[in-house]
Structure 1
């Protein structure tokens, strides 16, 4: 059994074991590997986000937390490739790196047959991905948005003028093939749209945002919608 297949089977065994759990020794016998290999596999599953608990001593073992009682991830090959294509085509989008890591986790827990079919189909989908913006700048923008902290920008205007701004991030927006950071500019004392590709430097401060809302950002671009994936 290949390791990817064993990890999938191992997660299902833990799920079926319920509250009683199962010992590493029992898992090693069932999968015909060493206890050391089982523990290494359990570490890998936990690192991928699976909430594994362990109970030491006689009668102890491993199991899944109650929050993991949902059924395994079940995607068709087409759905898996759709996720990969969407992220690949928007590699400059905020949180794109995290999305890529998330897709890898999903692929790791798919059943081997579905994963193989998705991999084959993925080779039949090509995208002309946009160039990556600075990873350092993107990380700072993502952190400031997620933590709602003021970010200090070195920004080059369309006319080539460079200024330093402190901005309270409100939202990311994509329109006309450009990504923008929309936020309250403390220098201008107004809401502004900053083209991400014109941000030369960015650093997150320790200052919390004062609470400006999305409604203050003005009229959204035509056909704009949040990325939560639900119908309005």
Structure 2
């Protein structure tokens, strides 16, 4: 990661840490640099006008003053194309339509020279993405997850059995290039993985989820990670049946 990119990412981490703050050691682990480098970066941000505060001692750390805002940062052409490529390569990912709309907004506000260079570079990145599942199914799953409401599925298992079942969505997961809805199946009274491509129909009900958590899902593949933050997993997952 280039230093300019790291400084921006660092400022975002400080902003998200809120009043808790975050230690230099944790920042160093996050960005895979030395504590000394982190402190130099923090000094550079402060010199540029960022309202950074520090709290010494055990439990201390760094943060941004409450209500502080950061100056806007323009993406480089490569960063813009990286976003375009990521969304184009995963049209079946949850909320991919919203991501594509967000990227279009970003492209619209880039300065003309950067946008032109990004568009030229984008022509050099080709994507042959697999067809995405039904838009209606994806919309229902996304809504149920965001609102934490029970979703009713018509689902065909890997052995060809079709059932209708109510599921409390807990998370989306992608493994081996395939997306799954993981949730508490009220039919089986257990946590199950549902391949999104095997869901024929989905509708959001008026019932609220009962509070099943990510901790109940199980152990992900070694290289799996949330798209934001980190989480400890505990039990073994079970596929839908």
TM-fit CA distance, 1:231: 7.3
Query: Highest CA radius of gyration, 1 or 2?
Result: 1
Matches of 2:141 and 2:230, distance apart in 1: 27
Say whether the 8 Å CA contact 1:149–1:204 is kept in structure 2. Answer: yes
Partner of 1:147: 147
Is 2:138 the counterpart of 1:138?
A: yes
Deviation track 1:72-109 (CA, whole Å, cap 9, x = no partner) reads 34100000000000111111111111000000011111
Is 2:215 the counterpart of 1:203?
A: no
**Bigger relative CO (Cα 8 Å, ≥ 6 apart):** 1
Structure 1, 191-200 or 126-135: larger mean CA deviation:
126-135
TM-fit CA distance, 1:220: 1.0
TM-score scaled to structure 1, two decimals?
0.68
TM-score scaled to structure 2, two decimals?
0.66
Stretches of structure 2 lacking an aligned partner (at least 5 in a row): 1-66, 232-241
SS for the counterpart of 1:126 is: coil
Partner of 1:79: 79
Partner of 1:180: 180
Is 2:225 the counterpart of 1:225?
A: yes
TM-fit CA distance, 1:222: 2.4
Cα RMSD (Å): 1.7
Stretches of structure 1 lacking an aligned partner (at least 5 in a row): 1-66
Which one has the bigger helix percentage? 1
Aligned residues between the structures: 165
Partner of 1:122: 122
The residue correspondences of 1:1-232 to structure 2 (distance < 5 A) are 70-228=70-228
Matches of 2:92 and 2:109, distance apart in 1: 26
SS for the counterpart of 1:115 is: helix
